[in-house]
Amino acid sequence: MPIVQLQHVRKVYGAKVAVEDLSISIEPGTMFGLLGPNGSGKTSSIRMMIGISAPDSGSVSLFDQPFARKSLARVGYLPEERGLYKKMNVLDQLIFLGQLHYVSASVAEKRAREWCARLHIAEAIPKKTEDLSKGMQQKIQFIAALLHEPELIIMDEPFSGLDPVNAALLMDTLVDLRRQGRAVLFSTHRMDQVEKLCDNIALLHHGRLILSGSMREIKSSYPRNRILIHFEGGDGFLQNPNIETLQRYPGYAEIKLRSSATLAGDAQALLAEALRCARITHFEVTEPTLEQIFIEKVQEDSPGNGPNFPLDGIDEPEGSYLDA
């Protein structure tokens, strides 16, 4: 029984097509990554799942039923733009948001305290929201989405703006929730997070689904044609004719080999050549990373854009998939 099912969903804002023919399905106990650059339709898709907007065509089902507002009591939502009452104290705020999800005040208070302790922000409980750091506010928002123990957790960019320690804390929490059988959907443009966490993914570009399926299947459908090599010394081996593209960094290089029937042999030959001119500290042959898959997919999707493709619409340089 899918927890969320979108079928051929289309959403248009004025002249801009935000989402076009999107079909995805999320099963209980899985973690789903919704990927794509900013402006690719992630937030628009999420808003249709939680009834903030309605699709122009296509259908949205929650818990195997056509969308109905009463289902929302079973959904936890963390919006992309954090929204909390600035002047309200944290506990009152959490209780209020819990009550909106049909949790009694006393239960909401108990859970709020437990969650704050778990996320190491117990000292924030009596404070006003505006007095908290951005990371703390984000944790409060995170807790607000979970107080009513939702079966479906939808989080729009949950880790953006968090330091690595806190991002890891929230990731671990989401993994725990999945283990309890909840369905978790989150959007991000950080491919490394998705690779680590997600069972299934959907890649959006210009509002269209360009890749979807289980993480493992997607990765294994790609040949092991990527080589990561750390070396000291001469780099003459990088002139090897089997190398299709090359990214050269201080001390290491990322290589994509030309596809051929003898791919595995080509890799070994490259290693042998490298050993002749340099000291090798690390040599790894893998399938492409999700980031590389994504870039390839997007390039296929918009061939006219050339190598500089999807920079438009990206306003958060830190942590974007263009890091490398």
Partner 1 sequence: MPKLHAGSLRNVLLIARREYRERVRTRGFLITTIMIPLIMGGFVGGSIFLGSKTPSDTQIAVVSSDTQLALDLQTELERRQQPQLASAPKTPAHPASPAQVKRQARILVTAMDSGPGTRAELDSDLESGDLDGYLWITPAASPTGRPTFIYTSRSSTQASIKNALADALRQALLREQLAHRGVVAAEVDTMLQPVAIVTAQGVPREDHESTEISVFLLFFIMYLVIMLYGMNVARSIIEEKTSRIFEVLLATIRPEAMMAGKIIGVGSVGLTQVGIWLAAVLVLAASPIGIHLGGDAIHIALTAPQVIFFLIYFILGYAFYSSIAAALGAMTNSEQELQQLNMFLMLPLLFCFAMLGTLLSTPDSTAARILALIPPFTPLLMYLRVCLGHPAHWEVALSIALTLASIYGIIWVTSRIYRIGVLMYGKRPSLPEILRWLKYS
- Render 89-125 in DSSP notation, one character per residue: BHHHHHHHHHHHTT--HHHHHHHHHHHHHHTT-GGGT
Nearer to partner 1 by Cβ, of 81 and 217: the residue is: 81
- Give the 3-state secondary structure of residue 37: coil
Contact with partner 1 (CB under 8 A) among 88, 271, 280, 322: 88
Nearer to partner 1 by Cβ, of 73 and 264: the residue is: 73
Structure tokens at 185: 């959907």
User: Candidates 92-100, 212-220, 236-244, 309-317 — which segment interacts with partner 1 by CB under 8 A?
Assistant: 92-100
Instruction: Say which residues have a Cβ less than 8 Å from residue 275's Cβ, sequence separation at least 6.
Output: none
DSSP 321: T
Contact with partner 1 (CB under 8 A) among 4, 84, 191, 210: 84
Checking 217-223 for CB contacts under 8 A at 24+ apart, the result is 218/290, 218/293, 219/287, 219/290, 219/293, 220/287, 222/287, 222/288, 222/293, 223/259, 223/263, 223/287
Give me the least distance between CB of 271 and partner 1, in Å please.
Answer: 52
Q: Tell how strand 152-156 and strand 278-286 pair up.
A: unpaired
Contact with partner 1 (CB under 8 A) among 23, 25, 99, 240: 99
- Tell me: does residue 216 bind partner 1 (CB under 8 A): no
Nearer to partner 1 by Cβ, of 69 and 179: the residue is: 69
Binding track over 15-54 against partner 1, x by CB under 8 A: -----------------------------------xxxx-
Q: How many residues bind partner 1 (CB under 8 A)?
A: 26
- Tell me: does residue 135 bind partner 1 (CB under 8 A): no
Pair 240, 213: CB distance under 8 Å? no
- Tell me: does residue 144 bind partner 1 (CB under 8 A): yes
User: Candidates 17-25, 67-75, 252-260, 275-283 — which segment interacts with partner 1 by CB under 8 A?
Assistant: 67-75
Contact with partner 1 (CB under 8 A) among 18, 35, 97, 267: 97
User: Candidates 19-27, 93-101, 179-187, 308-316 — which segment interacts with partner 1 by CB under 8 A?
Assistant: 93-101
- Tell me: does residue 86 bind partner 1 (CB under 8 A): yes
- Tell me: does residue 179 bind partner 1 (CB under 8 A): no
Give me the least distance between CB of 167 and partner 1, in Å please.
Answer: 21
Rounded to 10°, the helix 134-146/90-100 angle is: 30
**Burial class (CB within 10 angstroms; exposed 0-12, middle 13-18, buried 19+) of 128:** middle
Position 93: which residue type?
Answer: Q
Q: What residues make contact with partner 1 under the rule CB under 8 A? A: 50-53, 69-70, 72-73, 75, 77, 79, 81-88, 96-97, 99-101, 141, 144
